[in-house]
A = this chain, B = another copy of it.
């Protein structure tokens, strides 16, 4: 693998570029993004050069789509049209069923492997890119057939310190609805509730409230596509959460509350093991 093209050189795409370089990748890394983004990414030493999709893709061994979901859906057929036969197209979109379905329809010359790095931080853009962003975090791959997973790409993920996890696209979307989309909406709802009903609560904010509202800083731009491509699973996760909150509200005076604290603490500890 000597020619990598990254389409969408933001935090994730830029971090992937820095990470593979740090892990010893010797080939060319070309970015495809807006002129301003390319200039910023080159200035920060994230990519070697920028090019148009039409110029960059034909020689690429690996095409890494790190755009918002809606843009990935739109890029797939265009990238496949220019890709050399057998090139690997992969993506970093936060939901997988819509993308995998579209790839099945429109990727023919190249091969496609859906991916989702469970990594991120508050800052956005190539300027915030970080060679260690993926280190020790799960990196989900959703191959149609697990036996088909591309060996060199898997080796690359291990080299950048990520923990590859294989699962189906539907299972992925159901689980991230709970592990990622629900926490985002719970944090947004908490901050919005306080902002509307208890604005003076900011006077008595402790460190716990800062933790609980960190995700609420996220931009809707990133979340619109996630929510629209995983609506049913998110509705289910939200319903389970609302039911749990109602149960807690009804049991503030009973021993049931102790049971909820025990269940919550057990899962929170398990996440940290």
Which residue numbers of A lie inside 8 Å of B, CB to CB?
116, 118-121, 137-138, 140, 165, 167, 172, 174-176, 178-180, 182-220, 223-224, 227-228, 231, 234-235, 237-242, 244-246, 248-249, 252-253, 257-258, 260-272
**Neighbouring B residues of A264 by C-beta, 8 Å:** 187-192, 195, 213, 216
CB-based contact B182/A220 at 8 Å = no
Q: List 18 extra interface pairs beyond A178-B201, A187-B268, A211-B211, CB under 8 A.
A: A119-B206, A172-B204, A175-B200, A175-B204, A176-B204, A178-B197, A179-B202, A179-B204, A180-B204, A189-B260, A190-B264, A191-B268, A202-B270, A209-B271, A214-B268, A220-B262, A231-B253, A238-B249
A257 and B227 in contact, given A197-B240, A264-B187 (Cβ under 8 angstroms): yes
Once the chains are docked, how many angstroms separate the CA of A77 from the CA of B235? 52
CB-based contact B120/A198 at 8 Å = no
Once the chains are docked, how many angstroms separate the CA of A196 from the CA of B180? 16
**Neighbouring B residues of A183 by C-beta, 8 Å:** 190, 208-209, 211-213
A120 and B187 in contact, given A192-B260, A261-B223 (Cβ under 8 angstroms): no
Closest to A227 in B: B252
CB-based contact A245/B249 at 8 Å = no
Could you jot down 13 A-B contacts, CB within 8 Å? Answer: A138-B204, A175-B198, A175-B201, A186-B186, A188-B265, A189-B264, A195-B264, A197-B240, A216-B265, A218-B261, A219-B261, A231-B252, A238-B249
Minimal beta-carbon separation of A104 from chain B (angstroms): 22
**Neighbouring B residues of A140 by C-beta, 8 Å:** 204
CB-based contact B180/A206 at 8 Å = yes
Once the chains are docked, how many angstroms separate the CA of A107 from the CA of B6? 70
CB-based contact A220/B257 at 8 Å = yes
CB-based contact B186/A267 at 8 Å = no
Minimal beta-carbon separation of A209 from chain B (angstroms): 5
Closest to A184 in B: B208
CB-based contact B202/A208 at 8 Å = no
Minimal beta-carbon separation of A107 from chain B (angstroms): 24
Minimal beta-carbon separation of A235 from chain B (angstroms): 6
**Neighbouring B residues of A190 by C-beta, 8 Å:** 182-183, 186, 241, 264
Once the chains are docked, how many angstroms separate the CA of A182 from the CA of B116? 32
Minimal beta-carbon separation of A66 from chain B (angstroms): 16
A263 and B206 in contact, given A198-B179, A249-B239 (Cβ under 8 angstroms): no
**Neighbouring B residues of A137 by C-beta, 8 Å:** 206-207
CB-based contact A189/B271 at 8 Å = no
Closest to A230 in B: B252
CB-based contact A265/B219 at 8 Å = yes
